Chains A and B, each alone.
Chain A
Amino acid sequence: QQQVKQSPQSLIVQKGGISIINCAYENTAFDYFPWYQQFPGKGPALLIAIRPDVSEKKEGRFTISFNKSAKQFSLHIMDSQPGDSATYFCAANGGSQGNLIFGKGTKLSVKP
């Protein structure tokens, strides 16, 4: 049972454009939503995370938007750069889960 659904599977964006990745969750007990970034040959690395008490969190060019009523959250990458080309995973945790539940990932390619 997939508890965190992520879309799209892949995304191609032009340099300077906005990349948007969406995630939806089912368990209303989830209360921690991180995004991880993974480059080929490397393990995932924490990019940014949000708790449901805020609707938006921004760190540099990366912003998480959170909609608690819709049980959705998204990652926006502003001014996308070729160096942002990587696979992005959303995740969730909380309630009876002691571990992160990951989405299946989005492969982002930023074209120069």
Chain B
Amino acid sequence: KAGVTQTPRYLIKTRGQQVTLSCSPISGHRSVSWYQQTPGQGLQFLFEYFSETQRNKGNFPGRFSGRQFSNSRSEMNVSTLELGDSALYLCASSFRLAGYNEQFFGPGTRLTVL
């Protein structure tokens, strides 16, 4: 089985721009979760989608949004980028809701905001 894929792998944007990141889960997985990873804060949960519905949301501003398509692929959008949004954005998929089930992580998208 192919693993979780994320595109693009690297991205450079400037403050005020917006960005869209993409995640393709493992085939058959219906849950997709997004995390932000930074050296200072570690791994922080953004949101989880299951069957096209947002099931859970972390403590991030409304500039961070996401969606999931009928094929379980997911996109994450960040609007009005700030310097502090520079981070590794990780996507993870699981067969059922993520809480008690193993999550399989992708390699991440490294976002740099200048």
Inter-chain contact B107/A89, CB cutoff 8 Å: no
- Given A43-B4, A43-B90, A89-B42, A97-B107 contact (CB < 8 Å): no
Within 8 A of B (CB), among A12-59: 32, 34, 36, 41-46, 49
Which candidate, A60-68, A69-77, A78-86, A101-109, is the interface stretch facing chain B?
A101-109
Contacts of B97 in A (CB 8 A): 98
Choose one: B44, B45, B58, B102; the contact of A46 (CB below 8 Å): B102
Contacts of A97 in B (CB 8 A): 99
Inter-chain contact B99/A32, CB cutoff 8 Å: yes
A interface residue count range (under 10 / 10 to 19 / 20 to 34 / 35 or more): 20 to 34
B interface residue count range (under 10 / 10 to 19 / 20 to 34 / 35 or more): 20 to 34
State A20–B44 Cα separation when bound (angstroms): 24
Within 8 A of A (CB), among B86-113: 90, 92, 97-100, 102-108
Contacts of B114 in A (CB 8 A): none
- Given A32-B99, A93-B99, A99-B33, A43-B106 contact (CB < 8 Å): yes
Inter-chain contact A42/B107, CB cutoff 8 Å: yes
Inter-chain contact B102/A44, CB cutoff 8 Å: no
Inter-chain contact B42/A102, CB cutoff 8 Å: yes
State A77–B104 Cα separation when bound (angstroms): 22
- Given A46-B102, A93-B100, A100-B107 contact (CB < 8 Å): no
B residues contacting A by CB (< 8 A) are 4, 33, 41-45, 48, 55-56, 58, 90, 92, 97-100, 102-108
A residues contacting B by CB (< 8 A) are 32, 34, 36, 41-46, 49, 89, 93-94, 97-105
